[in-house]
Structures are given as C-alpha cells and as structure tokens.
Structure 1
Amino acid sequence: MNKERLIDQFMEMVQVDSETGHERDIADYLLKVFKEMDVEVYEDDTQKETGYGAGNIFVHLKGDDEKAEPVYFTVHMDTVVPGLGIKPSIEGDYIVSDGSTILGSDDKAGIAAIIEAVRSLSESGASHGDVEFVITVGEESGLVGAKAFDTSVLKSRYGYAVDSTGKVGTVVTSAPTQSKIEAHIHGRTAHAGVAPEEGVSAITIASKAISKMKLGRIDSETTANIGKFEGGGPTNVVTDYVNILAEARSQDDEKMKAQTKHMIDAFESAAEELGGRAEVNSEVMYSALEAKEDSEVVSTVTKAIENIGREVSLISLGGGSDGNIFAGKGIDTAILGLGYENIHTTAERMPVEELAKITELIIEIIKVQKEMGRPE
C-alpha cells in the first residue's frame, strides 16, 4: 500500500462535488480512474429509474485463483450538504475541510481505500479471488441507488459495506429495519370564535393520537419517533388538515410491524372518535441486517482484523445503510467502521491512520478470503 498516494487520492476526490442527487461529476471521475487501472467497470442504467445524477458503478477485479470465494464491497459516492467546493487540508494527524463545508469522508474515505486496495493488489501481483465493488448513488437520501441495483450481477455470497462510524476493527453485525409512516389527518373547518362546535380540529385529532402512542425507546431493539407535524393557519379558523411524518425502527421485523400498526391504529381511532378522517400510509424503507457471529462474513473479517493488529469490536447500530439493502436481497453483509469523525457536519475530519488502516483491512479481507477457498 502506498500511503502517500492514498492520501492524495482521497484529497483529490473530495474536491469533486457530489451532493446526493447530483453525482454525475463524481461518477465520471470514478469511471475514468478505474478504466485507467484496467479493471472491468461500468455504470448501470438505474439513473432512468432513480432520477439521480448518475447510475451506480460496478467494478470487477478478476482474480487468478478460481478456488477462492468471491467477495464484494459496497461504498457510496454521494455526500450530504453543504458539500460544494470542499477545500481539504492536513492538520496534524487529520484531514479536514476549511470549516465552511463537510469533508466528504462519508463515504469517499471508503472509495479511496478501495481504489488503493485495487492498485496495491495489482502492483504486488498477489494471488486472489474475484472481488466485486458496488459504488452507489443516493445513499444519503434514502439508500436510493442500492435499492435500484440489480444484485443478480454479483457472484459473491457475502461482503462488506465500508461505511460506518468507529475505528477500523469495528464491525456492525446488526442494524434495524425501518418503516416510514405518513398520516394525513382531515377535520372540518369552522369559525373558531363564532361556531367552534361545528368544526373538527385536525390538530386535536393528531395530538390525541400522538398522546396515546408509545414513542422514543420502546425496548432494547425498537424505537419510534414523530419527525414532522405540519399544518394549520389563522387562530380564528378550526384547522381541517395536518400532515404527520413518523418512523418506527427495530432489530426485529415483527416488532417493527407491531409498532407501525400501533401508530396507525392510534391515528385512525382518534379520527373516528372525534369525527374526522385519517389517511395513513406506511412503507418499509429497508430490512434489518443481521450477520451472525459464526457466519463466514463475520469470521472472515474477524481474522483479517486480527491479522492487521487491531481489536475486533462487533456492535449493533441504530441506523440503516446500503448494507441493509444488500442483506435484504439475500447477500450476507457486515458493515465496517472506517474511523471518520463528526460526519454530516462542517467539523468532519478523517484520521490519516484510519484511512490507511481501512485500506489495509480491505486488502487483508481479500487475502483471507483466498485462504478460505470455495465451499464444497
């Protein structure tokens, strides 16, 4: 691994604008980089489905050992805002922005590590099996690219999303499923001073429903939250419509479904009781991720982490990622911590040591994968 080249690659890449939904420039940049490395690379046609700035990028690093089990890695090319005109610099042991923007280490640190891993493997001539890389769009705005990606192109049975907090050595083995709940509460308008008894307040309906809900921490695996309560107007008019956006999450699919039903029932029963109407829709945003400790995906990364001299930390995470989508499509997936700090803020920073270590870990996973061979 060439550490200086890795740092230069990362710093160059974060200067390519790629706010979520506007990935064209970074996609073109990455296609050029991989083509120059003489590996198989293409952009899929999901842009017409997602409407985002580009399609997902698929990279295939062909191995020379047919007995080795293939493995996949996924990262995302988009960033949150403010991510235009990023100016990176090195301050001590960290790479930082100038403070007016994010840095973009989420997830360009993962991409830089993959690029350097491919270069290093090619230059060393090390024997390895097939390695597949998926670089998605729209992760930051609903895992859009991963949802649209055709996983039938993957030969790997398992792999890793390189996109989590925690120092290198951290492995997310469980992450929740989530449902989004949108409620449209309809009342009946009336003059609030002259004839309030003729009206039905949508605000009152929604408030009564929410007051009956279990929210926040439901149990050790389940949470629920109201994110938006919107509607209303002049104080002399009984409000006849409000819109509520909420969510339910759980490590357990059945618990998530039960919590979602509980919230929907609360809206509907309050509306019926007070003479209004509730239109409530819910959508499962992603499935739960669970990689068992005795699974190949965990045993492989555990050995690789130990080989690079780090301690293994298997954790649960309260949020979803592209890894949830791939796991939900039947590809066993764990999520790797890569050490970025203060992401989604202008104080974001990337430790140089962790950038080098995640690259080292990706290379080591590929080597360990070769040693394990294909199952009979």
Structure 2
Amino acid sequence: MGVLEKFIDLVKIDSPSDPASPTCPSTAMQLDVANHLERVMKEMGISNVRQQDGYVYGEIPATPGYEDKTSVGFIAHMDTAPEFNGIGVKPQVIENYDGGDVLLKGSGHILSAEEYPVLRSFKGHTLITTDGTTLLGSDDKAGIAEILEAAEILLQGGIPHGKVCLGFTPDEEIGRGPLKFDVAGFGAKLAYTLDGGAAGSIEYENFNADQAEVTVKGYSIHPGSAKDKMKNSQTIAMEFDRLLPAAERPQYTEGYEGFYHMTDIHGGVEETHCAYILRDHDSDKLAARGETMQKAAAFLNERYGEGTVTVEITHTYRNMKEKILPVYEVITVAEEAIRTAGLTPVTVPIRGGTDGATLSYMGLPCPNLGTGGCNAHGRYECNTKENMEQCVQIVLEIVKGYAAL
C-alpha cells in the first residue's frame, strides 16, 4: 500500500472538528481516525505506539550506531475544517490527468484550470479531487499519509537514521492542536508539521496574534424623549470601528502586512459587543495595534463619558521565527532535503497561525512543510499522488540529513 492508498483510506474516515464543543477531541469522529492510526502503526512495527486524549504517538528507534544523532519528529493533524461539509468524502482519482477542467461528479461543479491555474502543472499526474459535495481532507490527511509512508520505508531498513518520532493531533483546525500535546513524551529535539501548501514549501514565520473584546455601554430610553439622553451603543461601536485604519483590514493586506479584523458584532441600544482579531508578523507593530484601539476607546470615552468603551486584549499565539532562528539548522536541513528531492525550496510567511508556532513556544522548534495539496477547506480541494510522493521523499531526506550531521 503506497501513499495514495493510505491517503484514500484516511479521507474516507469522517473527522471534522467542532469549535463549539468543549471536549478533547472536539468530535468523537476524530477518535475513529486515531484508532485507525494506532492499529496501522502497530501493524507496521512502529515502536511505543500510544494514544492519549485523541493524540497518537509512535517512534522508530535509531539505527544501531546512530543513537547520538538528533531525534527528529514529524507531526500532522487528523481533523478536517468545520467550515465546509466533511462528512461522506468520496474522492475522485483521475490517472494521467490532462491539465484541464474536472467535473466533480457528485455535484456538477467544475474544478476550473482557468480559475486554478496550478492545475496545469499537475498534467500527467494522478489527480485526487472531491466529488463536489464535500471537502477532500488533504488538509491534513495528506500529511498523515506522507509521514506513514516515510515511516514504512524507514522500517524496511537501508536508510541509517537517528530516532524518528511521529505525532498525530486532533483539533488543529479550531486552534487546539497543541493543547494536550505531550512534548516531553514525544521524544524529539525538533520537529516538522506537514500541513498544507505546495511540495517544497517551508514556513517558519507566522502572524503574532491577539484577540480584542470591545464592550460599548449605552443608555436606552424611549426614542420619543431621547434628545440629549440616549446613548446608542450600536452607533458608538460603529464610530469605534471607523477610528481604526480602514486600509488595514484583511481584504486590503498581503505578505507581511498586518490587520484589524472584526469577527463578530452583536448587541442593542444599551450594550454592544465587538470581537476583533489583530495580526502582525512584527510583535511591536502588533502591540501598536492594541494601543490604537485603546486610544480610540479613550477618545470616545471623552466624548460620551468614562466607561462607555472598554477594550480587553488577550494574546493568542506568537511568531515562531523567534524560536526557529536560534536552531536555524531546522531550516537549512529541510532546504537541502527539498533540493535533493528535485524541488526548489520556497519560504513564505504564514498569514495565519500554525500548531508549529505554539509547539515552538512549548520547547519543540517546529516549522511547517507543504503536503502538495491546494484549495483547502472547500469542494475544490485537490492533491496528486506525485506531489505526495515528493513530500515523502523530502521527509526521508530530512531524516538522512540529520543522520549525517
């Protein structure tokens, strides 16, 4: 069974996460994936296979004589995104893909090569798509399949290596992937997540992230006698938003540009609540965004009365770059592995978060590698057998790279 077959088996197991659930994992379906992985890993001969809180771990012991080499880990997540239907995935496998449009037979939608020109680079590949009624789950079951395929090759012998650690996590899509990850028990000195993106991509810069909760207090009175008395918290909240830089919203930014993003607003005349996420790759600039919000609140409090607007800011996650630079070999080894696999390394800043960022701050330096997939979280998600095979080769070359140090 190769990487394609491993992947197909995985995507057929439903496993969307649920942000409204307080449990870990957030959905029982993810335990179906965890149980499948635990069984498969044991059958493969992986050592110390164990499951805890829906997390699955395993190890491949070092080749005799290589016990002193750096222990390296590979991590992928089991859940699929809750934003689009992930129940009942029926993958379409198209051999010798012609590089053109693809009919998604379950829904009649067209995966368009004009709209998604990356498809043309997949000509001649074995393309895997959805049937149009669900997402595919390449994010991140491609990562799991690639890690398992690399592990199977290592277990066959012939590639000397240090200890290799494997970890599969729940609830990454709802920001809880590292919540109960056992860094100490995992046993690796450093690791890589395999999670989305083109084969050959490396990501080790992500946003710094804060959450801002804005509360606006008003005063409700009958509108017929409201003159000089009513304070409509809803319109004051709108004023607050207009005091923030309009050009620094997600729809106007790219690359290293940060943003303010209102994710929720609800309330009435008497009280309104707004939720914002603040993002910036530069921690000082992120702090300045929080200060701008506090200044806007102070301005409105001077106009409408003290306590009208309050802003509470909490930290969410931080840019992993700070933790990666001191151990930069984690990047140079990966870059060389990608070149050896016949690709050109591409490093881009993540305009979002990653489990690897949190794990890096938990003491496990952990950049991200691509898995070959594209168009994640929707009906047009796809990947190819050849992309996944290249990602497997990159994993193996990374293992070789650390064995040679």
Relative to the length of structure 1, the TM-score reads 0.88
Checking the alignment, whether the CA contact within 8 Å between 1:268 and 1:277 is kept in structure 2 is no
Checking the alignment, whether the CA contact within 8 Å between 1:190 and 1:196 is kept in structure 2 is no
Aligned-partner SS, 2:131: coil
Alpha-carbon distance in 2 for matches of 1:362, 1:180: 35
Per the alignment, residue 60 of structure 1 pairs with 59
Residues 1:187 and 2:224 aligned together: no
Q: Identify the match of residue 153 of structure 2 among 114, 120, 142.
A: 120
Gaps of 5+ in 2: 18-25, 98-125
Alpha-carbon distance in 2 for matches of 1:141, 1:224: 20
Per the alignment, residue 208 of structure 1 pairs with 239
* CA root-mean-square deviation: 2.0
Q: Identify the match of residue 42 of structure 1 among 36, 39, 50.
A: 50
* 1:18 positional shift: 0.5
Identity value in percent = 28
Aligned-partner SS, 1:147: coil
Per the alignment, residue 274 of structure 1 pairs with 304
Cα distance change, pair 337–186 in 1 and its aligned pair in 2 (3 A): same
Amino acid at match of 2:209: Q
Checking the alignment, whether the CA contact within 8 Å between 1:206 and 1:270 is kept in structure 2 is no
Give the stretch that moved more between structures: 266-275 or 75-84.
Answer: 266-275
Per-residue Cα deviation, 1:65-116 (whole angstroms, up to 9, x for no partner): 2132111112111001311111112023311111100000000000000111
Aligned-partner SS, 2:168: strand
Checking the alignment, whether the CA contact within 8 Å between 2:69 and 2:163 is kept in structure 1 is yes
Aligned-partner SS, 1:146: coil
Q: Identify the match of residue 319 of structure 1 among 317, 335, 352.
A: 352
Per the alignment, residue 11 of structure 2 pairs with 14
Q: Identify the match of residue 189 of structure 2 among 122, 142, 157.
A: 157
Per the alignment, residue 72 of structure 1 pairs with 73
Checking the alignment, whether the CA contact within 8 Å between 1:288 and 1:328 is kept in structure 2 is no
Aligned-partner SS, 1:358: helix
Checking the alignment, whether the CA contact within 8 Å between 2:374 and 2:383 is kept in structure 1 is yes
* 1:183 positional shift: 1.6
Cα distance change, pair 269–134 in 1 and its aligned pair in 2 (3 A): farther
Alpha-carbon distance in 1 for matches of 2:313, 2:79: 26
Checking the alignment, whether the CA contact within 8 Å between 1:286 and 1:328 is kept in structure 2 is no
Cα distance change, pair 265–36 in 1 and its aligned pair in 2 (3 A): farther
Amino acid at match of 2:77: H
Alpha-carbon distance in 1 for matches of 2:127, 2:297: 49
Alpha-carbon distance in 2 for matches of 1:100, 1:31: 29
Per-residue Cα deviation, 1:232-273 (whole angstroms, up to 9, x for no partner): 3xxxxxx11111111111112222122123224423542452
Q: Identify the match of residue 88 of structure 2 among 85, 88, 98.
A: 85
* 1:126 positional shift: 2.5
Q: Identify the match of residue 339 of structure 1 among 360, 372, 377.
A: 372
Amino acid at match of 1:354: N
Checking the alignment, whether the CA contact within 8 Å between 2:255 and 2:351 is kept in structure 1 is no
Residues 1:367 and 2:375 aligned together: no
Aligned-partner SS, 1:148: coil
Checking the alignment, whether the CA contact within 8 Å between 2:167 and 2:186 is kept in structure 1 is no
Aligned-partner SS, 2:363: coil
Aligned-partner SS, 1:204: helix
Amino acid at match of 1:73: F
Q: Identify the match of residue 230 of structure 1 among 255, 266, 274.
A: 266
The equivalences for 1:243-282 within 5 A come to 243-275=273-305, 277-282=308-313
Cα distance change, pair 43–264 in 1 and its aligned pair in 2 (3 A): farther
* 1:120 positional shift: 1.0
Considering fraction of residues, name the structure with more strand.
1
Aligned-partner SS, 1:181: strand
* 1:150 positional shift: 3.0
Amino acid at match of 1:251: H
Checking the alignment, whether the CA contact within 8 Å between 2:3 and 2:385 is kept in structure 1 is no
Alpha-carbon distance in 1 for matches of 2:301, 2:326: 46
Alpha-carbon distance in 2 for matches of 1:195, 1:292: 59
Alpha-carbon distance in 2 for matches of 1:221, 1:182: 22
Amino acid at match of 2:157: S
Aligned-partner SS, 1:246: strand
Aligned-partner SS, 1:283: strand
* 1:303 positional shift: 1.2
Checking the alignment, whether the CA contact within 8 Å between 2:279 and 2:286 is kept in structure 1 is yes
Alpha-carbon distance in 2 for matches of 1:96, 1:154: 33
* 1:220 positional shift: 4.0
* 1:278 positional shift: 3.0
* 1:294 positional shift: 8.0
Alpha-carbon distance in 2 for matches of 1:180, 1:188: 27
